[in-house]
Amino acid sequence: MNNLLKKILFIDLIKGLLITFKTIFTTPVTIRYPKQKRPLEDGFRGRHAFVRDPETGKERCVACTKCAQVCPSQCIYIDYSINPETGARVLTKYEIDALRCIFCGYCEEVCPVNAIVLTEYFEYASYTREENYFNRDRLLINWDEFIGQYERKEYLNKFWHLPGIGRERLPVGKRQPNPIIGREESQ
């Protein structure tokens, strides 16, 4: 009898309409994307870029290959040659397959010269795979596009290590052995 009364009086329909009328007059939760943008969280990882050295205009990379070694998805390809005069490595090829990348940020964490960065630029799409295959020149263009839209024209990534900050070690006499790993560590 109770079910029959609910069906005749459309109780469920009325309950649904009441919920609809309540939500009509509340503020919407959705963000209208092209006009409204969500603020990015700290540590957001977007499109890859090579940081351009302001003095030379070239990339900062010294071809140490640490980023390629630490990359879990193996999406970074580096080739270098040795300068016969100085004995230093010279970068000849640097490529990133962004479609394979998992955006973990290990490459920028391990870079000793802060050459690679995952920018806060996320609005990029393409119709072909080749457009998401970044070579050295494209990585520099990515940096120019990113820093051009960045307000302060200087960028400090939270993963970068500033020289002299956070890497100091106490003199050997002030260190104490760590009982867990058996090595000396700073106090």
* Rounded Cα distance, 78 and 95, in Å: 7
Assess if residue 130 is contained within a domain: yes
Q: Which residues are annotated as a binding site for [4Fe-4S] cluster?
A: 61, 64, 67, 71, 101, 104, 107, 111
* Rounded Cα distance, 54 and 60, in Å: 10
CA 78 to chain centre: 20
pLDDT digits (tens, 9 = 90+) for 26-37: 887 788 888 888
Assess if residue 125 is contained within a domain: yes
CATH of the domain at 85: 3.30.70.3270
Assess if residue 162 is contained within a domain: no
* Rounded Cα distance, 137 and 117, in Å: 15
Residue found under tokens 């963000």 = 31
Residue found under tokens 């990379």 = 61
Q: Which residues are annotated as a binding site?
A: 61, 64, 67, 71, 101, 104, 107, 111
Domain residues for the domain of 122 are 48-149
CA 130 to chain centre: 20
Largest CA distance in the chain: 97
Find the mean pLDDT for residues 60-68: 91
Find the mean pLDDT for residues 154-158: 65
pTM, two decimal places = 0.67
- The structural domain count of the chain equals 1
* Rounded Cα distance, 94 and 68, in Å: 10
Nearest C-alpha neighbor of 103 from the set 79, 119, 127: 119
More reliable by pLDDT, 56 or 80: 80
Assess if residue 166 is contained within a domain: no
79 CB burial (10 A radius; 0-12, 13-18, 19+): exposed
Give the percent of the chain with pLDDT over 90: 28
Assess if residue 80 is contained within a domain: yes
Q: Is the pLDDT of residue 165 over 60?
A: no
Assess if residue 27 is contained within a domain: no
* Rounded Cα distance, 56 and 135, in Å: 19
The highest-confidence range among 96-100, 123-127, 173-177, by mean pLDDT, is 96-100
Contact at 8 Å (CB) between 154 and 143? no
More reliable by pLDDT, 107 or 169: 107
Assess if residue 85 is contained within a domain: yes
Assess if residue 99 is contained within a domain: yes
Find the mean pLDDT for residues 136-152: 85
Angle at 114 between CA 145 and CA 94, to 5 degrees: 70
* Rounded Cα distance, 56 and 177, in Å: 44
147 three-class SS? helix
